[in-house]
Amino acid sequence: MPSLTMASVLGRPGVLRLQLRLRMLLSALKPGILVSQAGPTAAFGTSITSAKVAVNGVHLHYQQTGEGDHAVLLLPGMLGSGETDFGPQLKNLNKKLFTVVAWDPRGYGRSKPPDRDFPVDFFERDAKDAVDLMKALKFKKVSLLGWSDGGITALIAAAKYPSYIHKMVIWGANAYVTDEDSMIYEGIRDVSKWSERTRKPLEALYGYDYFARTCEKWVDGISQFKLLPDGNICRHLLPQVQCPTLIVHGEKDPLVPRFHADFIHEHVKGSRLHLMPEGKHNLHLRFADEFNKLAEDFLQ
């Protein structure tokens, strides 16, 4: 995947590291457990329901389960949906303690139309959509579980709507973009080079053309931030986060280096950093039981 130009810049060890990180990226994008629209779950016999609601001019799709007083919103990553990104959480988070909602951001999953686009404020737009969705569902206050792009959205939501956010857990997120990040993003631009195992579930969700086009648009969209001072996405907002925050980082995450988690931890006052030694980017899927217990203990 790396070009000769990159090889000349990085040297052979650098290219090998980048190749490894790109391979891990493609495995990390593999969707999690798929959840039926209204199937029974193991915990307390509650079901997962699926619906759409009009929010900010679009119809946002969400799934909901549980009957607890504590509302929790799950925020998916790039090209993700609640269904593909949070199977083990929808199934197994405590249904007596929590009401769990997993949403599809506009243009992702089943929140289409519209097609997904990436204006420079797309994370802020997602944050407003997410908060307004939960308000439309009549939740008075919510906690956030945000993965990857969803973690960035969660940080922005917590900073901009502090009175509405109770607690927050994020993992695989970054507050700015570096040169190293940009090279990784370019490595996934052409989905025809992805492995069939990784590509097929997203093709089934979106169709090949929409999937390929949206991935390219995402790379362009996330690359916009590299042109801003310090590659800024939301680093200026971190000091405004007031809610208790848990940052989880997989020590073997090939996509988001440790320094991103450290930076967020340093700049979100009172936050906790929890390291998972064997965790990669999709640690909540690979180590679902451990992650779910960690999140439940923090949210209580």
The tens digit of pLDDT for each residue in 176-229 reads 999 999 998 998 899 999 888 778 888 999 999 999 999 999 999 999 999 999
Q: Is it the case that residue 265 has pLDDT exceeding 70?
A: yes
* Residue with token string 């190293």: 180
Cβ atoms of 170 and 156 closer than 8 Å: no
Q: What average pLDDT does this structure show over 78-95?
A: 95
* Residue 281 among the catalytic residues: yes
Predicted local confidence at residue 254, as pLDDT = 86
- Please state whether beta strands 98-103 and 58-66 pair in parallel, antiparallel, or not at all (unpaired): antiparallel
Active-site residue, selected from the candidate residues 148, 149, 181, 249? 148
Cα–chain-centroid distance for residue 137? Answer: 21
Q: Is it the case that residue 44 has pLDDT exceeding 70?
A: no
The domains found in the chain, sorted by start residue, are: 49-177+237-299 (3.40.50.1820)
| Cα separation, 231 vs 104, whole angstroms | 26
| Cα separation, 112 vs 59, whole angstroms | 7
Cβ atoms of 53 and 133 closer than 8 Å: yes
Residue-wise pLDDT for 109-124, tens only, equals: 999 999 999 999 999 9
Q: Is it the case that residue 233 has pLDDT exceeding 70?
A: yes
Out of 30-44, 180-194, 281-295, pick the least confident: 30-44
* Residue 148 among the catalytic residues: yes
Q: Is it the case that residue 168 has pLDDT exceeding 70?
A: yes
Active-site residue, selected from the candidate residues 61, 70, 249, 281? 281
Q: Is it the case that residue 141 has pLDDT exceeding 50?
A: yes
| Cα separation, 9 vs 272, whole angstroms | 36
Active-site residue, selected from the candidate residues 104, 129, 181, 253? 253
Predicted local confidence at residue 46, as pLDDT = 72
* Token pair of 293 as six digits: 């217990």
In degrees, to the nearest 5, what angle opens at C-alpha 103 toward C-alphas 265 and 261? 15
Cβ atoms of 170 and 245 closer than 8 Å: yes
Predicted local confidence at residue 235, as pLDDT = 98
Q: What average pLDDT does this structure show over 229-233?
A: 98
Q: Report the DSSP beta bridge partners of residue 62.
A: 51, 103
